[in-house]
Amino acid sequence: MSIEENFIKLKNELPEKVTLISVSKTRSIAEIQNVYDLGERNFGENKVQELMEKQEVLPKDIRWHLIGHLQRNKVKYLVGRVYLIHSLDSVRLLQEIEKQFSSKELIANVLIQINIGREESKTGIMMEDLDELINACEQCKNVKVKGIMATIPKGDTESCNYYFTKTKEVFDTLKTKSYKNITMEILSMGMSGDYKEALKVGSNMIRIGEGVFGKRDYNKLK
């Protein structure tokens, strides 16, 4: 299927309350412009550098989402450029975001990324460290936590369902509490291979790359 067909089919099957992030990592400017022209305004990138380069030349009303792991030394480049950071996963990263955004008197909207499957190879905070991070978020002035993001271990439908449900439980529990600077509005989970499961469990933001743009070729860019 073409990008047009993928995008329109996907949009038509999504409930109104679900936000689609078209994950544009490795994609060319022309491909992204193509999806933009179909009405998409939310694009997700993994790398700060790539986000900046694309933002430079693409329409200014795009909402850029940083969905990949964020290194502290890159935070300064995101100030004023990013709509939502999905990958807050440590107190040290939080402090750098607070520092850089407050220096320009801007607010950083972020999601806390949880490593729900406890995978060594993945980023995201472990559940036992979550309280400490939440406490630190409550101390901030320029960081607002809008919800949770999760990437889950590869697995079959049953396994996806298990980890999505676990993440939703964390989201629901946090939602019942009242914290400073923290509201549980966004639950970002679900990618091309598993978004249907994620939606069943209650995700309201899905991050879709291949399901929009077709198969990714990492050799194409850089």
Ligand X SMILES: *Cc1c(COP(=O)(O)O)cnc(C)c1O
| Chain residues that interact with ligand X, rule: CB under 6 A | 23, 25, 46, 67-68, 151, 191-193, 207-211
Q: Alpha-carbon dihedral of residues 36, 39, 45, 49, nearest 10 degrees?
A: 40
Shortest Å, Cβ 139 to ligand X = 27
| Minimum CB distance to ligand X smaller for 84 or for 140 | 84
Shortest Å, Cβ 137 to ligand X = 21
| Minimum CB distance to ligand X smaller for 67 or for 201 | 67
CA distance 131 to 135: 6
Shortest Å, Cβ 145 to ligand X = 18
Residues counted in the chain: 222
First vs last C-alpha separation in the chain: 26
| Minimum CB distance to ligand X smaller for 22 or for 142 | 22
Question: What is the CB neighbour count within 10 angstroms for residue 199?
Answer: 18
Shortest Å, Cβ 59 to ligand X = 22
CA distances from 33 to 5, 79, 88, 206 (A): 15, 23, 28, 20
| Minimum CB distance to ligand X smaller for 62 or for 208 | 208
